[in-house]
Amino acid sequence: MILEMIDNYYNRSKYKKFNQILKSANEIINENRMIEDMYGEKCKNHPIFNFIRLLGRSTQTEYLQSLFIEGKGPKQVKEDIFINVMETINIGGKEVKIFDLIERIDHKGSLKLGRDLILPWPWNYNRYCSALCNFGSELHSKEWKEDKINHCIELWLPVGVAFVHGGNHSITAGIIQAEGEVTPYQCVKMDKYYDYIYTDGVYYREIQSCEKISKVESLEFAAIYEIGRLILKNDIKFNL
């Protein structure tokens, strides 16, 4: 009984924070619309992506710090941050893996390591130390440069969050120094997710049945997920 009360209190707190984040996201979208109407033109990069970066910074910092503070690399990111792509949902009476809703597209341009929300996975202590000492224009080496062979980043749209799959340590060094740009090797569209899946900040659920799919692991990224729905609704584009 006591555990249930604690759980209910915790969930109410998450609901409140989650709804406040989405309220703020709507305010930013509406405010920017008024500003664009006033100037008669759209801005190159919508401020909602600055808000997404803000929401994700604490998680990014956790991933950057984990090896030095915890003595081990962070958890694998993609499946934990948003909903696990190996989960299944019911679509028209058939069990479908969420992974099968993903669409891969071309998206030209480069991500800025010092600006964009990029989640690396530094896992080797010695390589991490070496990268921090060797990559960067203010160190003994040359300025940070993209390695087309080693660096591998996947960009998820519509939210503009990127995951590192190769070159984790050198990319992490670039993020910390806010130096360098990387071209995503592929872009993933989550658009179809929004036809079947929503989150209330505590669970990811099926839209049709409201059945639970999985528990939310990150409140901030659950909010980012639903901000993606607002991005699509308002025809906002992520520009590199």
Question: What is the secondary structure of 188-211 as a DSSP string?
Answer: EE-TTHHHHEEE-SSEEEETTT--
pTM listed for this prediction: 0.92
**Residue 171 above 80 pLDDT?**
yes
Using DSSP's 3-state secondary structure scheme, residue 150 falls into coil
Query: What is the rounded CA–CA span in Å between residue 181 and residue 194?
Result: 30
- pLDDT tens digits along 98-114: 999 999 998 889 999 99
- Compute the C-alpha angle 99/59/118, nearest 5°: 65
Q: Tell me the three-class secondary structure of 15-47, residue by residue.
A: HHHHHHHHHHHHHHHHHHHHHHHHHCCCCCCCC
- pLDDT tens digits along 8-27: 656 888 999 999 999 999 99
Query: What is the rounded CA–CA span in Å between residue 206 and residue 199?
Result: 9
Contact predicate 102/190, CB 8 Å: yes
Q: How confident is the model at residue 204 (pLDDT cuts 50, 70, 90)?
A: very high
- pLDDT tens digits along 22-46: 999 999 999 999 999 999 888 889 9
Please give the share of the chain, as a percent, with pLDDT higher than 90: 75
State the alpha helices, DSSP H only, in 87-167: 125-134
For 208, phi then psi, to 5°, come to -65, -40
